[in-house]
Amino acid sequence: MTPAPIIVLGIESSCDETAAALVDSDRRILAQAIASQEAEHAPYGGVVPEIAARAHVERLPGLIAQVLDEAQVTLDDCDAIAATAGPGLIGGVMVGLVTAKAMAMASDKPLLAINHLEGHALSPRLADATLTFPYALLLVSGGHCQILRVEGMGKYQRIATTIDDALGEAFDKTAKILGLGYPGGPAVEKLALQGDAKAVPLPRPLLRSSEPHFSFAGLKSAVLRAHDTGTYCDADIAASFQQAAIDCIEDRLNKALAQMGDVTALVVAGGVAANKAVRGALEGLAQSAQLPFIAPPMELCTDNAAMIAWAGLEKLAAGASGDPLDFCARPRWPLDRDAAPARGAGVKA
């Protein structure tokens, strides 16, 4: 008789999405619910940590009850409770982690403290059972911009990082300059469809530099200057910005792939992976490198709890039995602790 699949409840609360999901070891998402806080943060043009933490407190219990109800699963049927334990906005992370700890204690189930970046990094394996280690990963979100060699659960070699802004941050700041509101990435992508990507001369920071690191702060400043001249229409600025960002990604990834050794695939994850122009460029790059290209479905790209539950399942499959109930939330938690800081970089992981 085949054993019953393992079920993990996942909780995500590290930024501005409150989410809960039930995922099983057969890669089935039994139920998932996400409450976005866009409306609360929109007046401020970015995420306000205190507002985010309070919104997580208000919404998380209802979302957990909703997924259990939808999947017709009780807490007793779950094999473990997984929650994001960092990196992220510490107030929000604590809300999710403390909730998971309380549920684990009350139900006598293991707690799995998950690195949010690990959730993104492994999410493509939830969507695609054929994806095996080691793979090359471009992780592009609002807070992170890294190229990693994913060698196994808990085993990551960071090949490149950003020395200043993350790519999602650059999209969000461009949106702010163009008055497109928050969150900016999808709005810039939409406006770029109507613009000419060659209209505005913008820099490609670090292009052709010997190390494959990223830098987007100079590009953002150039977008601001181009906007302030009043010479260019917003759609042309959006399209030119997106193209400059894509050119940087392509150049940096080619460099990183050459340094990485054998990999099974080129994989993209994180919120910016929802961008169709970015996906298209990566697909072409993978083809040239003769690698399969794998991108999770859109709903698994931006923050969600299914990826946290899945990382929990991977952790169990790798032999983990659970984390201590006094596990502390971590505002910073690099995937590769041994990675040397990039030259010129700030403090970001």
Q: If DSSP codes are grouped into helix, strand and coil, which group holds residue 36?
A: strand
Distance in Å, CB of 175 to ligand KG4, minimum: 7
* DSSP 8-class letter at 132: -
Least distance to Zn ion, CB of residue 82, Å: 15
67 phi and psi, to 5 degrees?
-70, -35
| Region near ligand KG4 per CB under 6 A, out of 137-145, 224-232, 250-258, 311-319 | 137-145
In the complex, what is the shortest distance from the CB of residue 168 to ligand KG4, in angstroms, rounded to a whole number? 3
Alpha carbon 177 to chain centroid distance?
A: 23
Q: What residues contact residue 212 under an 8 Å CB cut-off, 6+ apart?
A: 147, 159, 160, 252, 253, 255, 256, 259
Residue 303 within binding range of Zn ion, rule CB under 5 A: yes
- Residue 229: burial class (beta carbons within 10 Å; 0-12, 13-18, 19+): exposed
For ligand KG4, the binding residue among 87, 91, 124, 142 (CB under 6 A) is 142
Residue at token pair 């999209």: 171
- Under the binding rule (CB under 6 A), the answer on residue 186 touching ligand KG4 is yes
3-state helix, strand, coil in the chain (%, to 5): 45, 20, 40
Structure tokens at 128: 């695609």
24 in contact with Zn ion (CB under 5 A)? no
Q: How far is the CB of 143 from ligand KG4 (least distance, A)?
A: 4
Of 171 and 214, nearer to ligand KG4 (C-beta) is: 171
Taking residues 2 to 41 in sequence order and writing x for each that binds ligand KG4 by CB under 6 A, - otherwise, the string is -------------x--------------------------
Which residues make up the interface to ligand KG4 (CB under 6 A)?
15, 141-143, 168-169, 171-172, 183-186, 189, 270-272, 274-275, 302-303
Which residues make up the interface to Zn ion (CB under 5 A)?
141, 303
